Amino acid sequence: MSTFQAPKGTYDLLPPDSAAFLAVREAIAAPARRAGYGYVETPGFEHVELFARGVGESTDIVTKEMYAFSTKGGTELALRPEGTASVLRAALQANLHKAGNLPVKLWYSGSYYRYERPQAGRYRHFSQVGAEAIGAEDPVLDAELVILAVDAYRSLGLRDFRLLLNSLGDKECRPVYRAALQDFLRGLDLDDDTRKRIEINPLRVLDDKREAVQRQLADAPLIVDHLCEACKDYHEQVRELLTAAGVAYEDDPRLVRGLDYYTRTTFEFVHDALGSQSAVGGGGRYDGLSEMIGGPSLPSVGWALGVDRTVLALRAEGVELDLPAATDVYAVPLGEQARRTLFALVTELRRAGVAADFAFGGKGIKNAMKSADRSGARLAIVAGERDLAEGVVQVKDLASGEQGPVALAEVAETVKERLV
């Protein structure tokens, strides 16, 4: 055992579990790629101010959970706690919005960091796949992103997730609701920190998960009752488009999520089998975020889906992913000449697209065949001096035990046929 262990609240991703994580990432990204979203990758850390402005100074993410530090040169940086602000910053920096083809559609995948209280499904280092459509205000775009996420979950075999949907209004109607909510909240029995939030962003109070606070919010005014006609119409179009696409959703008038940049369409995917950490992903429209971080007006919408929690949800449903075999063919050489010949054959198979491995270290036939079984391979290729003298190798089906000679020149083609 090593002297060192992974930091508290983090985890190492190792085989065989890592295969499921890779499959989930690929499945989530696939619908977005088919819809014209290109891949973007941003640094693991950004300037603190990017998140303070974008995510919101009153959010738990910024005030309590962000890993911030000063460089030797005095620059204030933070490990990225979420992806949207970074992706938008990268798009603005590269002037992608000036290319004349809006929206700019981007997807990303990576690790994110928050100083959370560790528990099942809640880590200080976690993995997400996200998609952002930058520079267009269109209910069809909102619906597209929701549908892409739903299709990703369905492609994995996930069935028991629920989609919660709400509208948070815009700069026209949000101030009216904000004032009404502040008036209500000021009359409640709340601690000093929560009272400060009332003045900075009262919607953050609605997102407070403490039972003592939630009990007092039962009669809080709802944003749906304060939407302007434009926001009502926009939200109704999103709802109609989702229904037409066969996407079931639940209207949740209290859904605000934990970030300050959301406007209008807001949504969250939950899986009740995960307990208190039931959210597996979510997103929404963020029409004012570009201006918050110093850019032009670029109405945008996007989502981030948690890889870790999606894996947990799949396990909760008992879904077995159809994962590609790490090894299809395992080569077992008997003797030095066979080592050279079979290693060349393994290289040929790999170049032909076959997952192949090799009995390294001069193992005896018994131990080598045990390794072949443990590798999960379907076929073993065994050869000794007599086989090579005859220009053949022995190909063994590890499931049935059947074995027979195959000419060296025909091994690659024969193996590919048997693996179909």
Are 104 and 91 contacting, i.e. CB atoms less than 8 angstroms apart?
yes
Query: What is the signed CA dihedral for 56, 60, 62, 63, rounded to 10 degrees?
Result: 110
User: Does 144 appear as a known binding residue?
Assistant: no
Nearest 5°: phi and psi at 42?
-115, 165
User: Does 257 appear as a known binding residue?
Assistant: yes
State both tokens at 16: 């065989």
Are 54 and 80 contacting, i.e. CB atoms less than 8 angstroms apart?
no
Helices 174-185 and 192-200 meet at what angle, rounded to 10? 160
User: Does 265 appear as a known binding residue?
Assistant: no
Place of tokens 């193996």: 415
User: Does 76 appear as a known binding residue?
Assistant: no
Are 116 and 123 contacting, i.e. CB atoms less than 8 angstroms apart?
yes
* Other Cβ atoms within 10 Å of 95 Cβ, number: 8
User: Does 83 appear as a known binding residue?
Assistant: yes
User: Does 340 appear as a known binding residue?
Assistant: no
User: Does 132 appear as a known binding residue?
Assistant: yes
User: Does 309 appear as a known binding residue?
Assistant: no
Please choose, from the candidates 122, 97, 99, 87, the residue with its C-alpha nearest in 3D space to the C-alpha of residue 10: 122
Place of tokens 């009216």: 176
User: Does 82 appear as a known binding residue?
Assistant: yes
**Which strand ranges, in their side-by-side order, compose the sheet holding 45-47?**
45-47, 76-79, 68-70
Query: What is the signed CA dihedral for 273, 271, 178, 199, rounded to 10 degrees?
Result: 50
**Known binding positions:** 82-84, 114, 128, 132, 257, 261-262
**Known binding positions for L-histidine:** 82-84, 114, 128, 132, 257, 261-262
